[in-house]
Amino acid sequence: MEGCASTPAPDVIDVWAWRLDRPPAEVAGLASLLSPDETDRASRFVTARDANRYVVARANMRIVLGNRLGTPPCDLTFAYNDFGKPRLVLKGAAPPHFNLSHSGALAMLAISDRFPLGIDIEEMKPVEEDIAGYFFSARERASLVRVPQSDYLQAFYRCWTRKEALVKARGEGLTIALDSFDVSVGERATLDLSRLEDEPTGHGRWELRNLDVPPGFQGAVAALTDGAPVWLRHHGDPRVDRDLTNLRSAAAHPECTGLRPHRNDDIRSASA
């Protein structure tokens, strides 16, 4: 796969993006790369579209990681913590950190040899319920109130994806309440973890970055850098409707009329 063979620098987070909806013959070929538990999970989706997107997601995640490690994609083994965050199981080597997110017809995968991380993307659909009132902090709600109505949806999804990226990076699921820390809702991505009791310093350990996403999406990545400089290296351009060289596609979580917090994209947390 073009780009996979380059030697990753330790201060780089590689971000891969690809389209989800692929021809049936291609999906069938990708399905052969999945493990039995992934195949079982795919069979339990209600719609064929969601099942196919899941197959494409998991298979292409395997392709990217396998090419990075020089391992056949079907030979990769994953383990999961109690909250569903996946990790690679390797013999005699430290595995890279990675995290997958998917929404609508887009998937993005973040990989780092150095930094624990989380990624979240969301297709910006109308928000019918007072989700901000349920999940966001008082500071974030106050910031959203000041946003012009024409910009509200973008600001809401900036906030949501930034919070989700941090929660996924920590890998502690529902033990972290989304209203227990603060992120910005404007274009500049910032966070304040001083209200988290188990966060030693509150500031400086975590880096939060916006993702380069196509129109109609918002996305963010969070990484435990401890102040080390880091930059994002994007592979493929999700703003252009074209095939990515030798990379076929990726997964989907459910249509997000009701956003669910604290997802990690393992086979147990995807919804049918």
| Total residues belonging to the chain | 272
Q: Which residue would you say has higher pLDDT here, 187 or 246?
A: 187
**Is the pLDDT at 241 greater than 80, yes or no?**
no
Output DSSP code: residue 147.
S
Which of 51-60, 96-105, 111-120, 252-261 bottoms out in mean pLDDT, i.e. has the lowest? 252-261
pLDDT bin (cut points 50, 70, 90) of residue 1 is very low
Kindly tell me if the per-residue pLDDT of 220 is higher than 90: yes
User: What is the mean predicted confidence (pLDDT) over 86-98?
Assistant: 91
Q: By the 8 A CB rule, do 218 and 119 touch?
A: no
Which tens digit of pLDDT belongs to each residue from 119-150?
999 999 998 888 999 999 999 999 999 999 99
Binned at pLDDT 50, 70 and 90, residue 41 comes out as: very high
Kindly state the tokens that stand for 105. 């017809």
pTM of the model: 0.84
The strand ranges marked E within 169-216 are: 182-183, 191-192, 206-210
At 237 the pLDDT is 36
Q: Please give the average per-residue pLDDT across 38-52, as a whole number.
A: 95
> What pLDDT is stored for residue 218 in this prediction?
97
pLDDT of residue 66: 94
Report the share of the chain in percent with pLDDT over 90: 68
Q: Report whether pLDDT(244) > 50.
A: no
Residues 6+ apart with CB under 8 A from 66: 72, 73, 75, 76
The DSSP H or E segment spanning 101 is strand 97-103
Please answer whether residues 244 and 12 qualify as being in contact, where contact means their C-beta atoms are separated by less than 8 angstroms: no
- Residue whose pair of structure tokens reads 């201060």 in the numeric block: 11
Tally: H helices and E strands in the chain: 6, 11
Is pLDDT above 80 for 70? Answer: yes
Q: In the predicted model, is pLDDT for residue 249 greater than 60? A: no
Mean pLDDT of the chain: 84
The pLDDT value recorded for residue 204 is 74
